[in-house]
Amino acid sequence: MPVTLRLKEPPPVPLEAETLTTDATALLSHADIRALPVNLGKRQRRLDDFFDVDGERSDEIEIHGDATRVKWIGRGMTRGRIVVRGNAGMHLGSAMKGGAIVVDGDVSDWLGAEMTGGSIHVHGNAGGQAGAAYRGSLSGMRDGTIVIDGGAGLEVGMRMKRGLIVVRGPVRDFAGLEMKGGTIVLAGGAELRTGAWMVRGTIISLMSIQLLPTFSYACTYNPTFLNLYAKQLASLGCHLPLDDHEGGYQRYTGDTCVPGKGELLIWKPRA
Amino acid sequence: MTRNGVTIVDTFAEAFDMRAARVVITAASPKWARTAAECMTGFATSVIGCKVEAGIETDVSPEDTPDGRPGVSVLLFGFDAKGLSDRLLDRIGQTVLTCATTACFDGLPDAPERAAAGGLLRHFGDRFQSSKFLDGRRYWRIPVMDGEFLVQETFGIQKAIGGGNFLILASDQASALTAAEAAVDAMRAVRGVVLPFPGGIVRAGSKVGARRYKKMIASTNDAYCPTLRGRSDAMSALPDGVNAVLEIVVDGLDRGAIERALAAGIHAACRAGVIEITAGNYGGKLGKHHFHLHARLA
Amino acid sequence: MLRISGGKVYDPANGIDGVVKDICIAGGKIVPDVNAPGSPEPRSGEGGRTIDATGMVVFPGGVDVHTHVAGGALNFARGLVPENHRAARKFLHTPERRAGLGGMTPTTFATGYLYAGMGWTTVNEAAVPILSARHTHEELHDIPLVDKTTLVLMANNEIVMDLLEAGETERARDVVAWLIWAAKAYGVKAVNPGGVAAWKWGKNANALFQPVEGYQQVTPARIISSLASIADDLKLPHPMHLHCNNLGLPGNFTTTIETMNVIDGHRAHLAHLQFHAYGGDDWSSMRSESARVAEAFNAHKHLTTDAGAVLFGDAVTITADGPWQHLLHQLTGRKWGNLDVENETGCGIVPYVYKDRNLVNAVQWAVGLELLLLIDDPWRIFLTTDHPNGACFWRYPEIIQLLTDTEFRKAQVKQLPAKAQQRVVLADLDREYTMSEIAIITSAGPARSLGLSQKGHLGPGADADVTIYHEKPDDGRLFTYPRYVIKSGEIVVEDGDVRATTAGREFVVHPTCDNAIEEYLRQIFPKIYTMSFDNYPVEIERLRHAQIQPCQ
């Protein structure tokens, strides 16, 4: 039986809800969950000032309502499952270590920033800096999986170090900016400067995208390692083309201005 | 005990502690996966002369391989983890890496002891290699002329058993061979075992040491050589009517696999032309795994 | 009146070495104990609190002779490391306390809470450019609880260097005097003499006797001896405070010893000596030469120094030594910030981490401790980490533990990489610091070196800056959590909690100079500075509780 939270009404200013994690609800009684401290702006309040709460002592949480202004849900969680039947706010799953988060609606910026494990699946759109490093940090997500069925904003996977991000819709500028490792799959295209300052890692685009002049073409082929990812991605609802008869991936290495040893793999269907 | 008119001697096969690894080779087609596997398991009949014993375990269908391509699984056996590790490096490097379209994966994911064969092979990439980390495992991508050679970084090594055996004593060479071939077909259907000798069959079974040459490690098993029956300077173990003997040697990942293989093999070998089935041992003094023939057929 | 009763007092400046006696405080000062035998009649109206200090040790408040806590360079560093702020200790505001961030570059209020929380009551901000001195004073204004002094950067000042080039030593002295008062500073700081000026050309000054880029006569040696002499002529309470040339480079111990010879005859304070005591020819052969440096230092009796010790862990290097910071950036690939201060100096910032498996870092760790153990007079070497360059100041208790527990120290040495152990002598050193010696290197010695006669001791007339520790704390780590900290007679920290927030004072000096120098400067200023001359000096009102210390 999950702990169910119904948002009474969207808060007027952002609600800082980093206490809202499965690690907390797994151990707490109903009364203690209701009393979890959250910050509305700079004032400390109780969780039940904003949510109707049902259930206790479960590492499954279900959130109902438009939580666009509720920030830091699932921060640092290590287990269990959070389902948001609606939208969620910034920093969802930031620094999470394990467990799963599913969102029916949209999410804001910094989804899964600096996460080290676990999985996030957003059915709607995401904002910018998904799986990214916070300002100044040397790397972003270290492990784990983020799947976004809609589109995403700027700097997806910025400075990433490992892990997997899949975006089915279009992304905006600077996907994979400065990335040091990891894999990003872009199924819906991208705007400008994809892979800028890339050091290592892989960006796969299933559509033709505009490339920086500092990426050099190598060859067109079907890399074997993609078969490993294809299996995992199929279970997440994303199809990676692999058939020689259907086409091949154009491989570009870069970003030469670093100099980086990253790769861009752009799918080119056979004419 | 007899089975199908064949006498089953009440004796046991004596087998040894070994270490094993399983390698899954995939390729663009079953033909090329098998080509690599056959090359990899060549010259691997006995640890004594070949430093490793190896054989093809089974074909693996695309649904079951890590990369969804046709595959073959190979088992390798050695006396110790370090030696086996070195052999993995040699053999994957010289026969799988070099074979068109292949990739190479570990088949013992739960084995805690790991050999770094893939990790060491990456140097062939001369710093042009890269790696991917997926589900807690690292895979190396080594640039080669037909694209990339994908190899898992580590290969599991586990305790295993080598030297399970039985001998087919037949009335003539052709009958011995037919029976042995039938045994090999039946045993190859068992998972977790390989038959390292040519075609799975040993025609030149050996004994420890030598009678007349002091430095030899092994020499012909004269007790079972038909042309030496009756000599005053040899002790024959051959019953009347036996004119040819062939041996089946089997290595396996665990006792259960060897038991199943021996049972299937002996059963298939009990046919016309075969007089007796027996097994080789050293009085139980050298190997700690004993496989009693009667228990196999009970 | 406040009485501290029954504590074991360490007051080395007054020859008191662990004697159980009372300390009496009134009017912000230590006063004679009216209850002691032979003392004058008790004052009327004596009341007030008594602290029962049984089982505790009583120290004069700590004095940090070299740290970087305020001003343009530090603030630039704060901007460069947002990731550190996320991980830093948070100070939420309370009725007694302002909000702030700890970490390696603490914000202003937090700096005061952290220092006082450790039992330190006076800090010397060691590097202030005159051009941005106003900024430094404004930040110091917001650092509560501790008293402050500042040192103003002079060794790459182009007005001074031009005068030295022309041989106009008298005028140079007057300019220095004028600049000190303009900056409302306490003393003279020299960083990589000539090197930071050369950095404006992308160069450095590695040779003491070679002219600096753009000059024929001015060499680093010339700058050093001139500034030392000027500081003595001006009778500044603290001598020239010198960050030697070739900081951080393998083999730089020769530069350090040569520098001591150049200074010969004058007072000087050598900053963070650890960074200047390396042998070897390159990074792979780098080793400790602390023994040779200590030997030379022991012989040059007019010098003082501070350790500048390194501890393993994260740090942020902040220094005016621009060329060294650029090199560090190239060696490590870490992000790098560089600021130029027109005509005067510059600064470089590189976040860094000292790793115990790194051969160079292991040697550095050992060298700081070796110097503290090999320099025989504790009145001449003081405990610092060049915060935040070597380690953060609140880790001083870790160094104290390494000095006072030889067994522990030797065990730590054994954990270093084997190669590193062969490059240092620390394993062979058995000396163990006494409590009295700790009181000297953390308080009495630096106070004396800074010329703050009212600090660093607990005799009558001293400022009532007192730190009281449990003699045997639960976690075995003495000095980490004072039981009480008293500042100017008020209990400001009790049991690790800041109880009262007072504002510290800022000490400044007003050295005598020929007033005509102002006219000289007014003439040349518009030709070389982008700031108008009238805006240049800092108004005394900018300082909080400024107190002028005499030059005599």
**Does the pLDDT of residue C64 top 70, yes or no?**
yes
> Which CATH number fits the domain that encloses residue C68?
3.20.20
pLDDT tens figures, B211-261: 899 999 899 999 999 999 999 888 999 999 999 999 999 999 999 999 999
Q: Which residue has the tokens 């089997």?
A: B250
How far is Cα C416 from Cα C361, in angstroms, rounded to an integer? Answer: 10
pLDDT tens figures, C278-337: 999 999 999 999 999 999 999 999 999 999 999 999 999 999 999 999 999 999 989 999
CA distance A138 to chain C (A): 9
User: What was the pLDDT predicted at C476?
Assistant: 60
Task: List the Cα angle C374/C379/C382 in 5-degree steps.
Answer: 70
Same domain? For C412 and C493 the reply is no
Same domain? For C211 and C292 the reply is yes
User: What was the pLDDT predicted at C33?
Assistant: 86
> Is residue B263 left, alpha or beta, with left meaning phi > 0 and alpha meaning psi from -120 to 50?
alpha
pLDDT tens figures, A176-203: 999 999 999 999 999 999 999 999 999 9
How far is Cα B268 from Cα A32, in angstroms, rounded to an integer? Answer: 70
CA distance B12 to chain A (A): 45
Tally of CB atoms within 10 A around C295: 13
How far is Cα C227 from Cα B283, in angstroms, rounded to an integer? Answer: 94
Query: For all residues of chain C together, what is the average pLDDT?
Result: 94
User: What was the pLDDT predicted at B112?
Assistant: 86
Report whether the peptide linkage leading into residue C526 is cis, meaning its omega lies within 30 degrees of zero.
no
CA atoms within 13 A on the CB side of C414: 6
Token duo for residue B150 = 């994908």
The nearest alpha carbon in chain B to A199 belongs to B130
Tally of CB atoms within 10 A around C105: 28
Same domain? For C46 and C90 the reply is no
Same domain? For C37 and C75 the reply is no
Cβ within 8 Å, pair A134-C81: no
User: What was the pLDDT predicted at A197?
Assistant: 97
* Predicted complex ipTM: 0.90
Which range marks the domain in which residue C435 is found?
62-449
Least confident of B281-295, C65-79, C297-311, C519-533: B281-295
**Does the pLDDT of residue C473 top 80, yes or no?**
no
> Which CATH number fits the domain that encloses residue C483?
2.30.40.10
Query: For all residues of chain B together, what is the average pLDDT?
Result: 95
Cβ within 8 Å, pair B148-A230: no
Residues of A with CB under 8 A from a CB of B: 143, 162, 164, 181, 183, 200, 202, 221-225, 227-232, 261, 263
Burial of C60 (0-12, 13-18, 19+ CB in 10 A): buried
Residue C339 belongs to a domain: yes
Cβ within 8 Å, pair A231-B130: no
**Percent of chain B topping pLDDT 70:** 100
CA distance A133 to chain C (A): 10
How far is Cα C492 from Cα C486, in angstroms, rounded to an integer? Answer: 6
Same domain? For C27 and C131 the reply is no
| DSSP for residue A35 | T
User: What was the pLDDT predicted at C147?
Assistant: 97
Query: Residue ranges of the domains in chain B?
Result: 2-14+162-297, 17-158
Same domain? For C83 and C12 the reply is no
List chain B residues with CB under 8 Å of A240: none
User: What was the pLDDT predicted at C500?
Assistant: 84
List chain A residues with CB under 8 Å of C86: 134, 136
Residue C549 belongs to a domain: no
User: What was the pLDDT predicted at C42?
Assistant: 55
Cβ within 8 Å, pair A137-C83: yes
User: What was the pLDDT predicted at C45?
Assistant: 47
More confident residue, C294 or B298: C294
Query: Which chains does B contact via 3+ CB–CB distances below 8 A?
Result: A
Residue C548 DSSP SS3? strand
Torsion sign across C-alpha atoms B189, B194, B196, B202: negative
Which of A162, A158, A190, A160 lies closest to A177 in space, CA to CA?
A158
List chain C residues with CB under 8 Å of A178: none
**Does the pLDDT of residue A93 top 70, yes or no?**
yes
How far is Cα B11 from Cα B5, in angstroms, rounded to an integer? Answer: 18
Give bridge partners of residue A70 from the DSSP assignment.
A15
Residue by residue, DSSP assigns B156-170 as EEEEEEEEEEEEEEE
Q: How confident is the model at residue C44 (pLDDT cuts 50, 70, 90)?
A: very low
Same domain? For C295 and C428 the reply is yes
| Architecture, CATH, for domain B2-14+162-297 | 2-Layer Sandwich (3.30)
Q: Which of C86, C101, C105, C350 to mutate to test the interface with A (most CBs of A within 10 A)?
A: C86
Cβ within 8 Å, pair A135-C83: yes
Average pLDDT over residues A131-137: 96
A65 neighbors A11 (Cβ within 8 angstroms): no
Tally of CB atoms within 10 A around C327: 16
**Does the pLDDT of residue C46 top 70, yes or no?**
no
User: What was the pLDDT predicted at C480?
Assistant: 81
Q: How confident is the model at residue C501 (pLDDT cuts 50, 70, 90)?
A: confident
List chain C residues with CB under 8 Å of A37: none
Query: Residue ranges of the domains in chain A?
Result: 109-269
User: What was the pLDDT predicted at C40?
Assistant: 62
Which helix (H) or strand (E) element contains residue B19?
strand B12-26
The nearest alpha carbon in chain A to C80 belongs to A136
Which of C274, C311, C325 lies closest to C391 in space, CA to CA?
C311
Which of B195, B197, B254, B188 lies closest to B20 in space, CA to CA?
B254
Number of domains observed in the structure of chain C: 2
According to CATH, the topology of domain B17-158 is Alpha-Beta Plaits (3.30.70)
Cβ within 8 Å, pair A134-C82: yes
Residue C376 belongs to a domain: yes
Query: For all residues of chain A together, what is the average pLDDT?
Result: 96
Average pLDDT over residues C146-168: 97
Burial of C37 (0-12, 13-18, 19+ CB in 10 A): exposed
More confident residue, C471 or C152: C152
**Percent of chain A topping pLDDT 90:** 93
CA distance C396 to chain A (A): 27
